[in-house]
Amino acid sequence: MRVAGLQTAGTPGDVAANLRELDRMAEEAAALGADLLVTPELFVTGYDIGERLFELAKENPLPAVRDIAVRRGLAILVGFAESTEEGLYNSAVMMDRDGCEMLRYRKQHLFGELDRHFFLPGDANPETVSFMGVRMAAMICYDVEFPEYVRATALAGCELLIVPTAQMEPFTFVAREVIRARAWENQIYLAYINHDGREGNTRYVGNSQIVAPDASVLARIEHGDGLIVADVEPGLVARAQRENPYLEDRRPSAYGSLVSDTRKERA
């Protein structure tokens, strides 16, 4: 399976412009042989755009994303603000090349006041789905910085973890080093796809990358707009997990503090 990631500054606050960009880049990704195109977090609207987000989120972008996926002949995982009766969620949805929704994920770990002002936290763990022989799941940005959350997803059978992100200064080390550590300690593929440039008071760090189970970087773009492309090999994760058996060699009985909030108990 060939995965493409779109790093872009986008057009903050302009849904129509961002969907036009998605169409252009889906055409380009398909020409490169991509089976799946991944956008950054909240690609459809932009992230740090202020109160306009509430109004823009009322427009459902998924029919347009579905149409692009079908016309361009590839799956698309897009980050968007999901409007519901109870409020907004910071979400990602994957449409396959037939326009069928394969997964929907709502960000659980909200980062700072920018997230918490606008969004409710999701309450469902990442769903693992099969696409072209690869078991995959999605998280969003800050979620991947919690090692136990990624480990639980790997234990559920995920081979490729897709992470749309809006990583900002001063956290370049997360985009470059932490992501590789997450791939290595679980022996999985990880695609981390970021914004670049400036949006409101936020300056993004770029550094989108697709990482192999051995932590080698298969594709990366440091700054600027563009696509990165890498191949994900079905079966490689199982082989890597046999050769480096972190999951098999765990001692769950020693990890009690991971399943109870001992900080609150001590308070």
List the catalytic residue out of 21, 27, 28, 41.
41
Of 155, 108, 156, 161, nearest in space to 138 by CA:
161
Q: Judge residue 13's burial from the number of C-beta atoms within 10 Å of its C-beta, 0-12 exposed, 13-18 middle, 19 or more buried.
A: middle
Beta bridge partners of 191: 162, 210
Which of 107, 158, 159, 199 is labelled catalytic? 107
Per the CB < 8 A criterion, the answer to whether 61 and 78 are in contact is: yes
Clarify whether 107 is annotated catalytic: yes
Residues in the chain: 267
- By C-alpha distance, which of 214, 157, 224, 166 is closest to 189? 214
Helix (H), strand (E) at residue 106: strand 101-106
- The single residue of 21, 82, 141, 158 carrying the catalytic annotation is 141
Q: How far apart are CA 82 and CA 64, in angstroms?
A: 14
**Rounded Cα distance, 96 and 227, in Å:** 19
Beta-sheet pairing, 101-106 with 75-84: unpaired
> Among candidates 40, 37, 82, which has minimal Cα distance to 166?
40
Active site residue 158: no
Q: Are 26 and 37 in contact (CB under 8 A)?
A: yes
Asked if 264 is an active-site residue, the reply is: no
**Residues with catalytic function:** 41, 107, 141
